[in-house]
Structure 1
Amino acid sequence: MTTTTVTSADGTKIAYDRAGTGPALVLIDGACCYRHFGPQVPLAAVLATDFTVYTYDRRGRGESTDTLPYSVQREVEDIEAVIQEAGGSAFLYGHSSGALLAAQSHRLSVPKMVLFEPPVGDGGFASFPPEFVTQLGALVDEGKRGDAVEMFNRAIGVPDEVMDGMMRPVWPALEALAHTLLYDCAIVAATDFDVVRSVQAETLVLSSHTTGADMAARSAAVAENLPNGTHRALAGEWHGVAPEDLAKVLIEFYQG
């Protein structure tokens, strides 16, 4: 595995890893994750048998730098920089807010993309009222990063048993990413069905049965609004699927 950086359009240094051989595939994390922490880590290892897999730290996370003011377009430019490193064209896989970033990248050279539970639509998972964002930002500014992480995860409906597990071994890593939760809020606010309808690439939208009927319905609605979209619901856990099972579906779709 090779670790290096690429410079985005605004000068931000984006750290990434490259592993495997085959067609280029860029994995885009959701909230509270970076390239060495989160569900993409085991997934990348499985996919590297069939693809050249690029995992990267979204700006402000891990070893990537950051440039203010934040904008969603700058995150799209980060993806574009990684795709250029990959040879100018790549498949995309985005998880949660990372799926929204994949959709926002529809003008890039992306032959196919997979969106896992993209939080598009009204209510519940995709709802961040202005007062919520203001309060979240205040907690970060006051150094109450743990409170900010808990507030965000409670708001998106993370089950109590999952929260209990997060609050022990991984909590310091989550606190380090607290400021980027505001970026995820901005991405949700910027991504509506008009953006979805702009995606011309063949797109597979996935959801986990365990996340719940609301998310499955939202994922199906995203697929219905895509010009070339389909939806599949998979057996899995809350907001996730076992990497081996997920990789089989991705390989079938990208290679089909």
Structure 2
Amino acid sequence: MFHSELLTIFPNSQHQALENSRKEAIALSLENNGELGLLISKVGGFGYFPKDETYPVNSDGQPLRLLAQLNFSELPPLKDYPTKGLLAFYIDEFDGLLGCDFENPLNRVGYKVLYFPECDEELAYSKGELEDLFRRFSEIERYPVVNEEYQLIGTLENQYVTGDSVEFEASYKSEFYNFFEKAYPDPDEAESKMEELFDIDISSPNSIGGYPSFTQTDPRIRMPEFKDDQLLFQLSSTDYGNDVQVIWGDSGIGNFFIHPTDLVNQDFSKTWYNWDCY
């Protein structure tokens, strides 16, 4: 359903552009359901990893940690995405920057995105075997984004371009702040409209596809070679007390991006990653 609150924020002349930006995504909720199986869609914990694949490690030989995995067979179907198989996201928790090279996002030494079209748990590492990979590094400081494991539950939702991003400039032919300054010449009114926009829950903070959110700026703006890449997966800091906690630095957000052609071809080898925080 069209988000009626947006109509009061965007000027009438931009309502059609707003409507045209509507895009379907999978909103993800996180649930603490105790210990989860190796094939479940989840964040944190240990996931499915076949023994005939080389487990990803950083430049010091330390194992990367599962950030999240998506089992498409238990998620709603989404255009251009696989309908089966498992997509896993690994990052370097031994690194204070969590494996992200902000100057060169194509440097994937500190993170890996792996797609397994077919999954056979009998041919995969057990949870105990995966725990053994980390045991000899137990004395080394880590910077975990997720300390526990939480099940991911997906539901379809419509999203709209409303945040400062390359999609905003493409949809409204204007940079975010310039857009509101031109639409509302009164500086106080422009600021008020932007605050209204920031305060409403337009889309899920955790999603597959859709439009990205940032606490700082869209990295694609300063790296135009990636301007056509779209959001693949987003995981935001979440704090539900003792039930669910996901922390990127100071209440940050992690984004994974992919070129649309690679997504259609189910080629996740060129996926890149960014995170930011306050």
TM value normalised by structure 2 = 0.27
| Greater gyration radius | 2
Greater fraction strand:
2
TM-score (norm 1): 0.29
Higher relative contact order (CA 8 A, sep 6+): 2
